Amino acid sequence: MSLKAISSKDAASLDKDLMEIGGWSLDQLMELAGLSVSQAVYRMHPPTSGKNILVVCGPGNNGGDGLVAARHLAQYGYTPSIYYPKQGKNELYQRLKTQLTNLSVPFVDDLPVAIKSADFLVDAIFGFSFGGPLREPFPTVISQIESSTIPVLSVDAPSSWDVESGPPKQGPGSKFMPEALISLTAPKPCVKYYHGRHFLGGRFLTKSITDKYDLDLPVYPGIDQIVEVGVSGEGRL
């Protein structure tokens, strides 16, 4: 299946439109984005395959999507844990942390130990606004994920990848190829360097938005908040 990609600049503009013209709050958008991430995890890795989901969160909205996903995963019967080395300043992130703490979801400090006991990893470190370079602790974090054998779902983009030009040529992330990717609202250009299962999530766009940004999105089935758009391979979306 061929899907048009949205540039990093347009993705930022689309988010702005949703909030400034569309009437959306960040709370609402993040709730639905995180919900779709949780559904992709369930599809890739149902609780019967192992309940220990490690969600690695970055300092921005990609990390917030991960926090929301972890909350839903806890409700689905998983035992998620969170690695969140650098918390962002938005008060929403603090509230999401409170919600998780109230569900007894642990925030862990030791990533290598956490990876050893996890069945599946959600990479919610960086999203469409990442252009590099990685700053500590993230080169280490990416290297640890990259060198593990745990299956990974990346949110919006494989973290460390440039959203336009894909994986770094060398260093942390240069060999990072997650088992699955969930693009939020629309695929980002770097998806053409990606091989693996590919989902789309963020079922909240309007026709005027998809027209404005010239998106050509697939139909979500039934009540699903995700749609699988096939296995992506190099050179095509």
* Positions that interact with its own copies (CB under 8 A): 21-25, 27-28, 31-32, 35, 38-39, 42, 71-72, 75-76, 92, 94-99, 102-104, 203-204, 206-208, 220, 222-223
C-beta of residue 69 within 8 angstroms of C-beta of residue 38 = yes
Q: Is 128 annotated as a binding residue?
A: yes
Please check if 62 is assigned to a binding site.
Answer: yes
Closest distance to its own copies from the beta carbon of 36 (Å): 11
Q: Which is nearer to its own copies, 97 or 192 (CB)?
A: 97
Sheet with strand 120-124: strands edge to edge: 107-108, 81-83, 53-57, 120-124, 152-155, 180-184, 196-201, 226-232
Q: How far is the CB of 93 from its own copies (least distance, A)?
A: 10
- Minimum distance between the CB of residue 49 and its own copies, rounded to whole angstroms? 14
Q: Which is nearer to its own copies, 42 or 107 (CB)?
A: 42
According to the annotation, is 129 in a ligand binding site?
Answer: yes
Rounded CA separation 174/161 (Å): 8
- Cα separation of 7 and 2, whole Å? 16
Does the annotation place 63 within a ligand binding site? yes
Residue 156 annotated in ligand binding:
yes
**Is 127 within any annotated ligand binding site?**
yes
Of 43 and 192, the one with the shorter C-beta distance to its own copies is: 43
Strand bridging mode 196-201 / 226-232 = antiparallel
Question: Is the Cβ of residue 51 or residue 72 nearer to its own copies in the bound state?
Answer: 72
> Taking Cα atoms as reference points, which of 128, 57, 134 lies closest to residue 96?
57
Residues in the chain: 237
Please state the closest distance from residue 94 (CB atom) to its own copies, in A.
Answer: 7
**Cβ closest to its own copies, residue 30 vs residue 54:** 30
211 is in an annotated binding site: no
Which residues belong to the annotated binding site for (6S)-NADPHX?
Answer: 61-65, 127-133, 156
Which residues belong to the annotated binding site for K(+)?
Answer: 62, 123, 159
Which residues belong to the annotated binding site?
Answer: 61-65, 123, 127-133, 156, 159
